[in-house]
Amino acid sequence: MRKIRIFEHISLDGVIEHDKNYTYGGWTAPYRSPEGMAMLLEAYGDSFDMLLGRKTYDEFLGYWPNAGDFPIANAINAATKYVATHRPESLEWGPVKDLGADIMEGIRKLKLTDGPDLVLCGSISLTSMLLDAGLAEEVILIVYPVLLGRGKRLLSDGIDARELEFVSTLTTPTGVLLNTYKHLGALKK
């Protein structure tokens, strides 16, 4: 059975995607470092496949296939991308497969197969759906030392409270934290 691991780049105030009209669109760039990239690549693991929403898939398509020859680009390009989409015929960056008309059923079936862990990056709607359904085992938050104020938050407003168990933290020289949590389920009242 495959494990689902959610990776999200996040500000201290919980923003994971800046407002499209926001002045600080490249807010993660000043904090990138070779050490941080090495930690992130190690956290992804030697082999992984990806779960992506259609919007994130299209954004990744605009960058990763032409990013060059370096470890994270090679790993992402080699990973099978499982995409939540209503337009599977237009998927062009592979290896790629759509999750079917019933996205959650497609993910449940995929989890039961043999293969590497499934890594979800971005894809805010899928993050909320997976946590709400109890399908994600881990949440890895890459926390940047910034307060963005506005933008899309980690979870949609409709998701119930979740409980996480701290597993580990790593720190980059630029102050980015790579925090790993085990997803325990709904927060107990």
The pLDDT of residue 63 is above 60: yes
Check residue 148 and give its pLDDT: 87
The pLDDT of residue 18 is above 80: no
Q: How far apart are the first and last CA of the chain?
A: 30
Q: How many CB atoms lie within 10 A of CB 20?
A: 7
Domains in the chain, CATH or no CATH each: 4-174 (3.40.430.10)
What pLDDT digit, counting tens, does each position of 84-135 carry?
998 888 899 989 999 999 999 999 999 999 999 999 998 888 998 999 999 9
Buried b or exposed e, range 63-93, using 16+ CB within 10 angstroms: ebeeeeeeeeeebbbebebbbbbeeeeebeb
Q: What are phi and psi of 14, to 5 degrees?
A: 85, 10
